[in-house]
Amino acid sequence: MTTSTEKLRESYDQQGFLSALPVLNEKELWEARDAFSKLELEFGKEYTQYSLHNVHLQYPWVMNLTTHPRILQVITAVLGPDVILLDSRFICKYPTAVKPADDENKPKPDGNVEDELPYVAWHQDMRYWGIAGGPVLSVWLALDDSLKENGALQVIPGSHCSGMLPHRQATRLGNMLSVNQEIPEELVQVEEAVLCPLLAGQMSIHDGLLVHASDPNTSQKRRCGFVIRYVPTCAYPTEDPDRPRKFHATKLVCGKDAFNHFSHKSI
């Protein structure tokens, strides 16, 4: 490894995240934003808020984002040379309260409480992913500026070293997590939270055990990002009878797969 790569890996291992890493140039960003605007027109904002899941399988421009050289350069520095694309999703917080799709686990208004703006509760990605044998790394690639006022990512540095924390059903309305879970706030060192602002075209990355969240968008600016999750080829899916997972969207994006824990094709 080069000195810069070693420092990148060392910082990630200690903090559990890296932020404000440049990815898209001006032309690439314009093309991605233009392509996403076409999806908004086709499907509507209520859908594009959270339901564009694994569309890298349908749209070459999205697949190209998941294999962007600047992303893979960082990912391989952290995970090693053999990497699988696990999953992807666009997440948008719009200036007005576009409600997520109904979910039976989400609390319903009682008629006396106004719907809250969408937010993401404190959580750990690994609580949902059913992966063992290796880490899960999440990328947040910003198509819009992601700032405090429009609900940028917040993280608790070093929290990935604490293992899996208990999660419970959230009582606050508007939680965008599809299973409506949260880590109880008394278990979160909120005073240590760090905001991860991004300019459009930049990315942050974080470990699957890092505690993170994001507040509602209280501005008049959209916050759209592309979340991509990667694992080293040594990782494997686990059986969870309470929440069975099937991974149909995996792709080998770097190196070789000597384990074949997932069903996928190399790119």
Predicted pLDDT of residue 114: 36
Rounded to whole angstroms, the Cα distance separating 1 from 21 reads 19
pLDDT at 125 over 60: yes
pLDDT at 113 over 80: no
CA distances from 142 to 69, 175, 221, 266 (A): 16, 20, 13, 26
179, 163, 166, 180: which is closest to 245 by C-alpha? 179
**Do the strands 83-93 and 223-232 form a parallel or antiparallel pair, or are they unpaired?**
antiparallel
CA angle (88 as vertex; 41, 59 as ends), nearest 5? 50
The SS3 of residue 9 is helix
pLDDT at 107 over 60: no
Q: Which CATH class is domain 3-266?
A: mainly beta
Q: Write down the domain spans for the chain.
A: 3-266
Q: Are 231 and 136 in contact (CB under 8 A)?
A: yes
Determine what percent of the chain is predicted with pLDDT higher than 90.
67
Rounded to whole angstroms, the Cα distance separating 267 from 263 reads 13
Rounded to whole angstroms, the Cα distance separating 221 from 48 reads 16
Q: What sign has the CA pseudo-torsion 31, 77, 147, 54?
A: positive
Q: What angle in degrees, to the nearest 10, is found between the helix axes of 69-79 and 3-15?
A: 70
Mean pLDDT lowest for which of 25-29, 75-79, 162-166? 162-166
Check residues 115 and 198 and name the one with the higher pLDDT. 198
Instruction: Categorize the per-residue pLDDT at 185 as very low, low, confident or very high, splitting at 50, 70 and 90.
Output: confident
Return the amino acid letter for 260: N
pLDDT, one tens digit per residue, over 197-229 is: 999 999 999 999 999 999 999 999 999 999 999
Return the amino acid letter for 254: C
pLDDT, one tens digit per residue, over 160-170 is: 998 889 999 88
Rounded to whole angstroms, the Cα distance separating 72 from 187 reads 33
177 DSSP 8-state letter = S
